[in-house]
Structure 1
Amino acid sequence: MPLQEHSWYDHVRLKRVFVTDGTRHQVVLVDVRKLLVCADRDNTDYVLKPVAEWHSGKVRGIREFLDPDNTRVPQMPYVTISTRRAPGLLGWVGLEREGVVAFRNGQHRARYLAEAGARWFPVEVHEREALLLRELCGAADDARTVVRATSLNSGGGV
């Protein structure tokens, strides 16, 4: 995944969480901003503070963890998505809904990548939620072209 505002490296590699056949999970390329807007709506008390408010050891650790020179390729974030009534009159009468993303794994990675200038990245989601995730948080079609070119230039991985 290309990073546009990161002084340490210009891309990261991510691998699938569920790799065996029959896992019933799909990879969805998401728009980082849309994903984090939905994630900020999660009311489970596990929404992280902005990266600028993390302690320096946490920032250094995630930076080293995501370094593309590491032999261990990190897993892509794993999420769930649902909808709820949107605030306001249209939500109250049930006409408007908003997406809510919860991270099962990878929230630190996602927020760090956003801070580092990633515009898109892949996440894994259960197949029954993949269509909703694409609809509410999916990346633009041109993102696939950029990601594919970056993957080829960096020697594989996503």
Structure 2
Amino acid sequence: MLMSDSSAVPRGFTEPLWTIPLANHRHYDYVRLKRVFTADGSRHEVVIVDVRRLLQCADRDDTDYVLKPVHEWHVGKERGIREFLDPDNERIPEMPYVTITRRRSPGFLGWIGVEHVGVVAFRNGQHRARYLADAGAEWLPVEVHEREAKLLREYCGLPEPAPELALYGQAGS
């Protein structure tokens, strides 16, 4: 749902702020995230993604660090990310920042170049994304360079029609 209650917006906050509902989290039922690149001309876009599809693409990354599932993290790591994302904190965390490429899919159709898959690499925010997926988030805003935004939407974007999203501040791109 699109929320417009200005009392929920931190005092003096003018950047876009996304509120992501959590269905399976006992400590809080939403988190807030802000943009990574806020300067004019940064050439980065916010793309709203299906968190499960994003993590499927990230699990294909064989060149970067891919995290284990949250239930396999040590207790201190899980507690630390939970405290970092707590909406009662004054500091609002940044959304994940990713890159995406396309590669041939496994199997015959990929081998002959007919079928491709998306491969996501996290530049920042992999712990956040995996923790939020485990907590029941269905969608996330992520930031990506503008030249990769279309590809990210193709492989990880929300299906149409997208649910109404909670956004405070100025309109995001």
State the superposition RMSD in angstroms. 1.7
Distance between the aligned counterparts of 1:142 and 1:56, measured in 2?
Answer: 38
Question: In structure 1, the residue corresponding to 2:154 is in which secondary structure?
Answer: helix
Listed as ranges, the matches of 1:117-128 within 5 Å are: 117-128=136-147
- Structure 1: where are the runs of 5+ without partners? none
- Identical residues among aligned pairs (%): 70
Specify which of 106, 117, 134 is matched with residue 153 of structure 2: 134
Stretches (4+) displaced over 2 A: 140-144
C-alpha deviation, 1:44, in angstroms: 1.8
Q: Which residue identity is paired with 2:70?
A: V
C-alpha deviation, 1:140, in angstroms: 2.7
Query: What residue number does 1:76 align with?
Result: 95
Listed as ranges, the matches of 1:15-26 within 5 Å are: 15-26=34-45
Check if 1:103 corresponds to 2:122. yes
Distance between the aligned counterparts of 2:124 and 2:108, measured in 1?
Answer: 34
Deviations 1:36-78 (A, max 9, x none): 0000000024000000000000000000000000000000000
Q: Which residue identity is paired with 1:39?
A: A
Q: Which residue identity is paired with 2:34?
A: K
Deviates more, 1:36-45 or 1:11-20: 36-45
Listed as ranges, the matches of 1:2-13 within 5 Å are: 2-13=21-32
Listed as ranges, the matches of 1:49-88 within 5 Å are: 49-88=68-107
Distance between the aligned counterparts of 1:109 and 1:142, measured in 2?
Answer: 25
CA contact (8 A) 2:64 2:121 kept: no
Query: What residue number does 1:93 align with?
Result: 112
Change in Cα spacing, 1:99 to 1:74, as seen in structure 2 (3 Å) is same
TM, length-normalised to structure 2: 0.84
Question: In structure 2, the residue corresponding to 1:42 is in which secondary structure?
Answer: coil
Listed as ranges, the matches of 1:21-60 within 5 Å are: 21-60=40-79
Change in Cα spacing, 1:142 to 1:63, as seen in structure 2 (3 Å) is farther
Distance between the aligned counterparts of 1:117 and 1:95, measured in 2?
Answer: 34
Q: Would you say how many aligned residue pairs link Structure 1 and Structure 2?
A: 152
